[in-house]
Structure 1
Amino acid sequence: MRVQLQPAYLLHRRPFRDNSELLDVFSVEHGRLGLVARGLSRRRRGGPLGAVLQPFRPLLLSFSGKGELLTLTGAESGGELPPLTGDALLSAFYLNELLLRLLQRFEEQPAVFTAYGAAIADLSDAVRAESPRGALESALRRFEFSLLEELGYAVDLSCDASRGMPICDDRHYALVPDFGFREVGVKASAGDASFTGAQISAIAQGRFDGENGAAAKRMVRALLHPHLGSIPLRSRSMFETVKAAPTKLEQ
């Protein structure tokens, strides 16, 4: 395989032998790939590849080889975005971890690629939004639901899966991952995978404001959990650690 200037994003990088690095990248035509960047550690200071190969930026990558691990032969910038900071940066790490955990190698996912690029741009814009937290949460939920849909893990938000009846706003439903919603007689606690019909309808319409946003977050976690496995997400732990740290005033 020999590929030139493939649109891609860097998901993760780590040291490898002989002053090289292993790169996990997500490309538009070849899906998630493992690349060896030879000599990258030695050339990183001031070197062109070290400057270009940054996460959360559109890239154009060239690579070649056979098997599971290919060799990076070139890298160029595919565009510029303002640098991510604070909660937006932590949110972007979360998106990368989702892709690393859920995408299979060499599986083309152009719709996910497009959704990821849009999410990174939305996170960048959210920093300057009137309500940054709400904008961040909305960006995350849009990407998560798109990812679930494209990977085949989504459920029908329009009907009760056990009876085939439309979702009614004034009723309550339990979510069964990989199956759908079934009506329940009583309202469950907020910590359960239970939702009002009105919440489900709002989420289906992409409205993630207020209580709908909190419900969407619970719904996404319930849908992703069977596919992420028992190992906690490191990015989620990072976010909780940062939020728990005392501010300068508290110090």
Structure 2
Amino acid sequence: MAGANLQRAYVLHLKPYTDSKKLVRLFSYDEGCLDAVARPSKRWPALEPFIPFLCHVSGKTQGLKNLRAAEIQDSTPRLQGHALFCALYLNELLARALPVGQAVQSIFEAYEETIKKLEGSHADAALLQVLLRRFEFSLLRELGFAVELLSCANGSKVINSCTAFYTFRLGFGFIPCALHEQNSTNPTLFHGEVLHAIAEQQWSSRSLSAAKRLSRLALPMLIGSEPLKARELFV
């Protein structure tokens, strides 16, 4: 690949295209999310998700490109069990959320860091949840849909109290909740105390549960209302 314009990348999704080619969705450091046609070659390593590699793609449009070369940078990651399911979830989330052909280097770095941490966390269920929630909120923030955890839509501050309640409304944020509106079965209802814990990353079973519920309420701003298939596996 001497002289080629190489860029760091990961495979988000791979499927057959023709008898001799595959269609691959790449997440690259320099160009963001890309769709490319790859022709298997004995000179290339096997293209697999979660393995960082250097690649060269060609094509002038934001449509389908050609993967001309690939070179593995690291060994096969040690992902198994729930950690593997979490990584599959991240790939599906990125494939749905990322704009095509737009570099999002901060997200690439966050993804790379999360994949590395997932490799050694398969036995720690709480850590897996922490890693997912951090990545989801980072993704929302970097793509312009940050969840303001400590401020309400009306400009008031979220009170750090277990008796203060707030309702999350998609596209608006948190709204103070009157006493007669407080319903423990309402999935959009959050304690002010828990919102402060999430903002400060003070993780407990309670704050992790609330953060998971909040991320599922907020992510449709990026990915639409269709459920993510990988959630059926674990998250």
Whether TM-score is above 0.5 comes out as yes
CA contact (8 A) 1:155 1:179 kept: no
Is 1:63 aligned to 2:57, yes or no?
Answer: yes
TM alignment of 1:163-182, pairs within 5 A? 164-170=155-161, 171-182=164-175
Residue from 171, 176, 200 that aligns with 1:183: 176
Q: Percent identity?
A: 39
Higher relative contact order (CA 8 A, sep 6+): 2
* SS class of match (2:34): strand
Is 1:104 aligned to 2:99, yes or no?
Answer: yes
Gaps of 5+ in 2: none
Q: 1:154 to 1:236 in 2, by over 3 A?
A: same
Residue from 201, 215, 223 that aligns with 2:218: 223
Q: 1:159 to 1:3 in 2, by over 3 A?
A: farther
Shift, 1:231, TM fit: 2.2
Question: Which of the pair is proportionally richer in helix?
Answer: 1
**Separation in structure 1 between the aligned mates of residue 208 and residue 186 of structure 2, nearest angstrom:** 14
TM alignment of 1:121-136, pairs within 5 A? 121-127=116-122, 132-136=124-128
Is 1:118 aligned to 2:113, yes or no?
Answer: yes
**Separation in structure 2 between the aligned mates of residue 118 and residue 209 of structure 1, nearest angstrom:** 22
Q: Which runs of 4+ in 1 moved over 6 A?
A: none
TM alignment of 1:38-117, pairs within 5 A? 38=39, 40=40, 43=41, 47-51=42-46, 53-67=47-61, 68-80=63-75, 82-117=77-112
**Separation in structure 1 between the aligned mates of residue 12 and residue 73 of structure 2, nearest angstrom:** 15
Residue from 196, 200, 214 that aligns with 1:205: 200
CA contact (8 A) 2:50 2:77 kept: no
CA contact (8 A) 2:140 2:222 kept: no
Shift, 1:179, TM fit: 1.4
**Separation in structure 1 between the aligned mates of residue 108 and residue 52 of structure 2, nearest angstrom:** 11
Shift, 1:190, TM fit: 4.7
Which deviates more, 84-93 or 177-186?
177-186
Give the aligned partner of residue 6 of structure 1: 7
* SS class of match (1:239): coil
Q: Report how many aligned residue pairs link the two structures.
A: 228
Give the aligned partner of residue 129 of structure 2: 137
What is the alpha-carbon root mean square deviation over aligned residues? Answer: 1.8
**Separation in structure 2 between the aligned mates of residue 135 and residue 108 of structure 1, nearest angstrom:** 29
Shift, 1:229, TM fit: 2.3
**Separation in structure 2 between the aligned mates of residue 101 and residue 14 of structure 1, nearest angstrom:** 16
Q: What TM-score do you get using the length of structure 2 for normalisation?
A: 0.90
Shift, 1:25, TM fit: 0.4
Give the aligned partner of residue 22 of structure 1: 23
